[in-house]
Amino acid sequence: MSEIFSPEWLATFAQNWNAEPALSGALAEIGFTSTIAYGYKGEPAPKGVLVVENGKVTASGPYTGQPLNWDIRCTPEHWDKWLKKPPTMMDLGVAYTTGKMKFEVGDYGAMIKDPRMTGPFIKSFAAMSRVA
């Protein structure tokens, strides 16, 4: 497997994202367009980004200072754990409330209350776990 958040890893994550109808299709239905960053909790900047336009990832790569709609950070241990076994909604809620997952940008509370976003959010971790 490529190093997590490397350009190669992000490109495969993007392919998995776009191939998952319950993720890209569901987000296309609501016109979801965002730049989403991923990285490690406690670091000054995220590692990588996905650019999503109408549910589909159209670009991926390293974070270079671009404006973000979402910036999701976790401890390395949580990323490793979730790559092996995607989290459930309960796992994500516990990680968020205990501070192991942090949204540097974006509103986790608002997202989690919108069922049109909750399912795809969970599916994004499943797509991530399929990166080999």
For the chain of 132 residues, list the mean pLDDT of each consecutive stretch of 10: 88 97 96 96 96 98 97 93 91 90 91 88 93 81
Within a domain: residue 28?
A: yes
Within a domain: residue 83?
A: yes
Within a domain: residue 49?
A: yes
pLDDT for 1? 53
pLDDT for 129? 93
CB-facing half-sphere around the CA of 114: CA atoms within 13 A: 13
Cα diameter, the chain: 34
Domain of 102, CATH number, reads 3.30.1050.10
Within a domain: residue 56?
A: yes
State which residues form the domain around 83: 7-126
How much is the pTM? 0.93
How many other C-beta atoms can be found within 10 angstroms of the C-beta atom of residue 111? 15
Asked whether the beta carbons of 10 and 60 are under 8 A apart, the reply is yes
Within a domain: residue 27?
A: yes
Asked whether the beta carbons of 93 and 109 are under 8 A apart, the reply is no
Asked whether the beta carbons of 122 and 88 are under 8 A apart, the reply is yes
Distance CA 29, CA 9 (A): 26
Within a domain: residue 36?
A: yes
Within a domain: residue 117?
A: yes
Within a domain: residue 68?
A: yes
Number of structural domains found in the chain: 1
Cβ-proximal residues to 66 (8 Å cutoff; 6+ apart), any chain = 35, 49
